[in-house]
Structure 1
Amino acid sequence: MKFSEIGLSEETLSALNDLGFEKPTQIQEEAIPQLLETERDLVGLAQTGTGKTASFGLPMIEKVDFNKSHVQALVIAPTRELCVQISKDIQDFAKYHKNAKVATIYGGASIDKQAREIKRGAQIVSATPGRLIDMIKRRLVNLKDVEIVVLDEADEMLNMGFKEDIDSILDGTPEDKSVWLFSATMPKDVAKIAKTYMENPIEITVGSKNSSNENITHEYYCVQNRNRYYALKRVLDINPNIYGLVFCRTKRETQEVADKLMRDGYNAEPLHGDLSQMQRDKVMEKFRDKTLQILVATDVAARGIDVDDITHVINYNLPDDIENYTHRSGRTARAGKHGVSLVFVTPKEVYRIKQVEKVIQKKFSLEEVPSGEDICREQLFALVDNIKRIEIKEDQIDDYLPTIMELFEDYSKEELIKRFVGAEFNKFLEYYERSGDLNADPKGKDEGRGRDRGRDRDGGRGRDRGRGRGKGRDDNKERFFVNLGLSAGLNKGAIVRLVCNETGISSADIGRIDLFNEFSFFDADPQHKDVILDRGANMDYDGKRMKIELAGKGGGGKSKGKRGGKDRSRGGDQPTGKRRSGGKKGGRRKGRK
């Protein structure tokens, strides 16, 4: 089937032709005709990289009336990068539709500029939840006439703590809108959103739920924690032409790994939330242009990466939420190509490979960390191949050749080849001549059989285990105090998102959350106490200083502060004002035809 056969307008087909799109992917082929023909809701489950943006973007363009100048379609995405990518794609699809305007709304950029995009008559909005809610509260965005709402990467939005934000946004939209939900996995929370806000939706699943792309090879390497970075270097060295992503758990670990790689001469840069939007844009531009070979990223920052030809996805650590592995691995093997997704685990973490296999419904192969000898051989032949393929600019070197030939006249062909190859290759021979065996026994019977020169400080956190969130206080959890509350606009989703993003712990390790006017409390596993206190000592929430401390015996923070001090002196977890109502969210439509 071709795009010309599924009911798209000539304007849209012309844009697709400019983009070189001829045949729809499976999710596009199944979703687009149904969305064009009906007003029904839709749940689409497909892996990252299968073309979900076009699946909802193309029918959306056909349904929007571009002669009107109010918001008719809304796409909600979890990150700035993904939000911008979606907006760009929709603009490309709609380039031949007269008066088509797309607004992009996300944090970290000028809210005034984004408000102007709305005022100029944008019919389609691509937004992240936090900034969208802010603009709704300021009455800069009106969703009363929205006809289509798309929840893209719905599972990831819930993982990031956006549940309450999504509820709030959907509650402010018309009851008779169409809701299109797209996700790579279908956890219980996503199913709950579908049940709450959708009526008898069309369900499309490409592959099995949560399964991995058939074109991805899954591998794991068993190493000791102290050897994790050295094993990463060896994998990079054995693949000289790698174009890959390295995933780390936290922003700090991401920066540390990227710094080490750059220090050791690799073409690598970090991508994480502590970088400014301008820095992130520059890094992504270099990665898309392929002038950057290795991108070291957090899960959150990488959500907007839509790049073809990525050869390897490297999990420096497995994600705390195993379902995130599906998102990570989906960055490779796009557009029918093949790719490799590999993981470094310690002997104590090997059991988690089985857990991932169960989720993605694919088997991992245990691979040996390459030896120094293997790497040197691979690098040597890669060097020879590059020399053979190099383009010679003869007109620029002809004048120098007589002198060069004279300087080399006493050397044989064999000696010249050795010298030129050695000039580039000696560094690998020198580095790996004393290298050890980095492989550890997956059964945990040894402590690893060696390491590369020197020892590096490991940035990983090992295995995190925790209980899910409960309704009551859990005596096995540690109680933490937050100096901001409802009056600062804080909600439960924001607390989960900020704490997990800053510390790298899983949302499953966060327990009960209590919100009051001037302060808040949350429970977390005691094993994470030190990192929460360290990273939470000086945070920022919507321009306000946010501080996390251990809760005192009376329920307040251990240290005194100006903000919320009066409330804490009262001794218990009691609010100073009325608590925001938490009844069941509305928004489920009734009477849809």
Structure 2
Amino acid sequence: MQTFKETGLPEEILSAIGELGYETPTPIQSKTIPEILNYGNDLIALAQTGTGKTGAFGLPVIPQVKTEEKNVQALILCPTRELCLQITKDLQKYAKNYRDLYVTPVYGGTEIRTQIKALKRGSHIVVGTPGRMNDLINRKAIELGNVRWLILDEADEMLNMGFKDDIEAIMAQTPEWRQTLLFSATMPAEISRISKKYMQDPIEISVGTKNSGSENVEHHFYMVQAHDRYKALKRVVDVIPDVYGIIFCRTRQETKDIADKLMADGYNADALHGDLSQAQRDMVMHRFRKKHLQLLVATDVAARGIDVNDLTHVINYNLPDDIEAYIHRSGRTGRAGKNGVSVAIIHSREMHRIKAIEKLAKKKFERKMVPKSEEICEKQLFHFLDRVGKTELEEASPVNALLPSVYEKLAAMEKEDLIKQFVAAEFNRFMEYYKDAPDLNIYKEERGKRGERGERGGRGERGGRGDASFSRLFLNLGKTDKLTSGDVIGLINSNMRGVTVKVGKIELLRNFSFVEVDKEYEQEVIDKLNRSKLKGKKVNLEVASPKPSGRKERRRRN
């Protein structure tokens, strides 16, 4: 097994990482460190999240920085504030024996003038998000003409988040003789295009297979009706008493809703989404890292930069629209040599998406049955008893003084009765909740009875105004935009390819409209249509407010 010393790193770095407890490089570090130390070709490194990518570029770059030159020599771009700060923190640890080397993080959501002052004092390595970096360039607050290393960390995610133009504008400010190091978990076509345009004969290093999932992660899925998804989530969580994981949702609103429901139902959970202030976000993450929270409910964007190595589970409350995003999600568990489980809760129409992920990630999903009440209660009971058995009672504990009275009070009870009462007192509420709980699983026979599309009908079928199977949505376009019912149906058809969505009543009003869609696909229709344009306008689709009774409907404006 190779050691860090064999990679060619100098003693100053070896001493620093030795104090951190690092002895042997990860596979991606073994392959990249010698290449970067030799300041050779540009490099494309493909590896999953949690495989030591910061060390892969940071350890060889730090000893090559010329600290006597007071200019930016290494620029690291990453998608989020959290990742920016995490990279900075790691680099500062690696560089502890280089006292004159300065690393500066720059990111949005905080005062830019403070960051400009830090840059003016001098910085050798700058870690930044693309948007803030472009702001600094436009203000002429940073000079990139001496950058020797341009590093794109989580490049695929930056592109997914819409930073393509920012990245290209930043790259144009750096010298052509720089060494460009691109680190990514997946290899989408856009990264290939950037590499051809901006990189010089790049060497490609891959740990594992392109776009593949981690070897340490098992992939499970549960199939339920869409309206049973939250009930299934609770059962999956309940059957894993020691769960410590992230629940991924598609939208901010869904993230808020699911987190609120979990907290109201007594779960140790909280949400992470874009509407939180930075102070709120930091507080949530602090509690999660300290394991004061068991479950973090988050969107893909909000979860970028989360650096937690011992997550047991990643739960996909909804599968991501982009299949490659699933690989990023699942890579949050099974890190640092530990095993993990990635769970997907799907409805009956999403099996084709599981197959597509299996093909891309080259991983087989195992179908699991949503736990029934007996299994959940048994798991929770034995988990509780294990905790009781492992509880240590110190001699100085105040409990000891109370034990004689406790023994006296319970002396009349037989051992078996005492155990029954003990279990009942702890679990009556839990068992009552799951008493007569229905089976949530969808079975193949049920799908076969109605066929692939059978009883639900096709697009264009109209439902009644009060049909409970429909969700009524507000659309920001109306007759003044020359909108027709055909336009609305066409918009749904073009954005929901491969899925049959039943459309109900369409009401075209002067400045806006209402459309009824199959309730099962409510959120998916909103998510996909809100990324589109119609009649030259950006579509805004949301769940409509309930109709006022007895008077003409009016949409309130905030």
TM-score range, shorter chain: 0.7 to 0.9
Question: Given residue 281 of structure 1, which amino acid in structure 2 is its aligned partner?
Answer: D
Structure 2 SS opposite 1:109: coil
2:359 equivalent to 1:377 = no
Residue of structure 2 in register with 1:350 after alignment? 351
**How far did 1:445 drift?**
4.2
Give the aligned CA root-mean-square deviation in angstroms.
2.5
**How far did 1:401 drift?**
1.6
Match of 1:466 among 491, 495, 502: 495
Question: Given residue 342 of structure 1, which amino acid in structure 2 is its aligned partner?
Answer: V
1:410-429 mapped onto 2 (5 Å cutoff): 410-429=412-431
1:277-426 mapped onto 2 (5 Å cutoff): 277-395=278-396, 396-426=398-428
**Structure 1 spans left out of the alignment, 5+ residues:** 448-454, 469-499, 513-520, 535-593
Structure 2 distance, partners of 1:410, 1:27, is 65
Distance 1:510 1:125, change over 3 A: farther
**How far did 1:421 drift?**
2.5
Distance 1:371 1:82, change over 3 A: same
Structure 2 SS opposite 1:424: helix
2:441 equivalent to 1:439 = yes
* TM-score (norm. length: structure 1): 0.77
**How far did 1:162 drift?**
0.7
| Contact 2:529–2:541, Cα closer than 8 Å, also in 1 | no
Residue of structure 1 in register with 2:519 after alignment? none
1:514-533 mapped onto 2 (5 Å cutoff): 529-531=540-542
Structure 1 SS opposite 2:177: coil
Question: Given residue 115 of structure 1, which amino acid in structure 2 is its aligned partner?
Answer: I
1:21-100 mapped onto 2 (5 Å cutoff): 21-100=22-101
Question: Given residue 495 of structure 2, which amino acid in structure 1 is its aligned partner?
Answer: G
Distance 1:273 1:126, change over 3 A: same
Distance 1:440 1:4, change over 3 A: same
Question: Given residue 326 of structure 1, which amino acid in structure 2 is its aligned partner?
Answer: I
| Contact 2:235–2:376, Cα closer than 8 Å, also in 1 | yes
Structure 1 distance, partners of 2:421, 2:410, is 11
Structure 2 distance, partners of 1:288, 1:506, is 36
| Contact 2:496–2:528, Cα closer than 8 Å, also in 1 | no
**Structure 2 spans left out of the alignment, 5+ residues:** 451-467, 472-491, 498-522, 546-558
**How far did 1:86 drift?**
1.0
**How far did 1:260 drift?**
0.5
Question: Given residue 3 of structure 1, which amino acid in structure 2 is its aligned partner?
Answer: F
Structure 2 distance, partners of 1:466, 1:145, is 46
Structure 2 distance, partners of 1:140, 1:273, is 27
Identity of aligned residues (%): 51
| Contact 2:252–2:273, Cα closer than 8 Å, also in 1 | yes
| Contact 2:83–2:304, Cα closer than 8 Å, also in 1 | yes
Structure 1 distance, partners of 2:284, 2:336, is 23
| Contact 2:45–2:183, Cα closer than 8 Å, also in 1 | yes
Residue of structure 2 in register with 1:567 after alignment? none
1:433-582 mapped onto 2 (5 Å cutoff): 433-441=435-443, 444-445=447-448, 466=495, 504-505=527-528, 510=532, 529-531=540-542
Aligned residue pair count: 477
**How far did 1:393 drift?**
3.0
Distance 1:149 1:506, change over 3 A: farther
Question: Given residue 530 of structure 1, which amino acid in structure 2 is its aligned partner?
Answer: L
**How far did 1:218 drift?**
0.5
Structure 2 SS opposite 1:304: coil
Deviations 1:464-489 (A, max 9, x none): 97399xxxxxxxxxxxxxxxxxxxxx
2:112 equivalent to 1:101 = no
| Contact 2:495–2:528, Cα closer than 8 Å, also in 1 | no
- Spell out structure 1 runs of 4+ moving beyond 4 A: 509-512, 521-524
**How far did 1:181 drift?**
0.2
Higher relative contact order (CA 8 A, sep 6+): 1
Structure 2 distance, partners of 1:445, 1:372, is 27
Distance 1:294 1:8, change over 3 A: same
Residue of structure 1 in register with 2:122 after alignment? 121
Structure 1 distance, partners of 2:338, 2:114, is 39
Structure 1 SS opposite 2:271: strand
Structure 2 SS opposite 1:426: helix
Structure 1 distance, partners of 2:544, 2:240, is 40
1:222-241 mapped onto 2 (5 Å cutoff): 222-241=223-242
Question: Given residue 425 of structure 1, which amino acid in structure 2 is its aligned partner?
Answer: F
**How far did 1:4 drift?**
1.7
Distance 1:397 1:258, change over 3 A: same
Structure 2 distance, partners of 1:54, 1:265, is 40
| Contact 2:247–2:314, Cα closer than 8 Å, also in 1 | yes
Question: Given residue 466 of structure 1, which amino acid in structure 2 is its aligned partner?
Answer: N
Distance 1:446 1:409, change over 3 A: farther
Question: Given residue 212 of structure 1, which amino acid in structure 2 is its aligned partner?
Answer: G
Residue of structure 2 in register with 1:497 after alignment? none
Greater Cα shift, 10-19 or 345-354: 10-19
**How far did 1:338 drift?**
0.9
Residue of structure 1 in register with 2:132 after alignment? 131
Structure 1 distance, partners of 2:425, 2:54, is 48
| Contact 1:248–1:315, Cα closer than 8 Å, also in 2 | yes
